[in-house]
Chains A and B, each alone.
Chain A
Amino acid sequence: MSGSFDIDPPEDDMEMLAAEYVLGLLTVAQLPHVVALRAGSRRFDNAVNQWEIRLLPFAEAVEAVEPPARIWPAIAAAIAPVSEHSGIWNNLRFWRNFGFGAGVAGVGLAAALVAIVSTRVPAPRPIATVALVSQHEGVFVATAQQTSGGIQLVVSPAQVVVPAGKSAELWLITPGNKPAPLGLLASARPVTVIISASQLSGNIALAELAVSIEPPGGSPTGQPTGPIISAAKFSPL
């Protein structure tokens, strides 16, 4: 590379950090720092690009392997235009299949729910979980499953104290995007929602789920208006 760096860290350190980043040598704990540095320093970003150009021929020389034919249809389904009514809130048939009637108490159901989703549904495959713990020690567990129609999120019954006359609303937060409303939490039964691949920006590990307290029926603006009582990242399975 031509040109020299006139800011700290010195060129050599920056070069080395960029190389170590591209090689995957940094620890998980170091990555957020490097990602921030890359966003903030054009020089560092350039150094990373240069190291990618140098080292990626390793990967480009890897032998090609034809993927199975089922992959493209799955991608095509994920990018297909989403109809207006795809936010399936109360997918009754889904829950009826598993014996979750409206009268089932929410307490203690979260763990059982995850287990059932993992063992009794052959088609949708769990891909990530997220556990939200609120200030009031309420816990909800959500499991994301890959289905043919997109990613289905199953949220356990909310064990959270919602003030009288208010609703708890669920949000999907992805890097660089505004929170996307996913609907209201229910206290007596699990809820499911379909998330489109475009909403997830491709990588569930970067997505976060949050819960805010909103006026009855949910935020009037489409963005959180009340306090966020809990937020957590998805853990890919």
Chain B
Amino acid sequence: MSSSFATPAEGRAELIAYLYRISRGERVALENLYRRTSAKLFGVCLRILSDRAEAEDVLQEVYLTVWNKAAQFDAERGLSPITWLTSIARNRSLDRLRARKQRTGGLDEAAEIADLSPLADAALSARETSERLGACLEQLDSRASSAIRSAFFGSQTYEMLAKAAEIPLGSMKSLIRRGLMRLKDCLES
């Protein structure tokens, strides 16, 4: 079982081939894809959910989604297969996190925010970011980059981020929006 490839291009071609075969209903191709990518995607689920049992559930959902939707993968859109898979894993995990938050309701919201702050701190570790994205984030206001990271992994609304940072909602919105536009410019320069 391995989630690393000899070269990025080889890995990409291999995953695209699996997705094509999965879209034709080949179960063994899903198994191959699982062997190749499940550790990576499980890492993503765990990172967002911080709960092993939930992450395991979501991982299953992710591959069932891939089984059903492989035909929708479109390499022409510019998404690499691993990015597409990662986005499914992240979106499913965020759905689960939202459901959890809805269930725990308003009273527990403060606790949820408190729980997420160590997560946000952990996200600051450089190994968790690609070099380019990391370099561009470093150019931002540190409050903006930290809010963007914790939003990415925690599915937090502006209200929750503003509360956690103890700044007004409007300030948090403009902080993040400015940060995102600068990030975009930096990544495209």
A residues lining the B interface (CB < 8 Å): 1, 12, 15-16, 19-20, 23-28, 49-50, 52-68, 71-72, 74-76, 78-80, 127, 146, 197-198, 200-203, 205, 235-237
Contact = CB atoms under 8 A, between A and B. Distances in A.
Given A24-B152, A62-B43, A75-B34, 15 more contacts: A20-B180, A23-B148, A23-B180, A25-B176, A28-B102, A54-B133, A57-B129, A62-B40, A62-B44, A62-B128, A63-B43, A64-B40, A65-B42, A65-B46, A79-B64
Contacts of A23: 148, 151-152, 176, 180
Category for how many chain B residues contact A:
35 or more
Contacts of B117: none
Nearest to A57: B130
Contacts of A236: 96, 99
A15 B188 CA distance: 14
B139 interface: no
Q: DSSP majority for the B interface? A: helix
Given A62-B47, A64-B40, A71-B38, A78 B151 contact: no
28 contacts: A1-B188, A15-B181, A23-B180, A25-B158, A28-B98, A49-B79, A52-B87, A58-B149, A58-B153, A60-B86, A60-B130, A61-B127, A61-B130, A63-B128, A65-B42, A66-B39, A67-B39, A67-B56, A72-B34, A75-B30, A75-B63, A76-B27, A78-B60, A80-B27, A197-B64, A202-B61, A202-B65, A203-B61
A102 B44 CA distance: 48
B94 interface: yes
Nearest to B92: A203
Contacts of B130: 57-58, 60-61
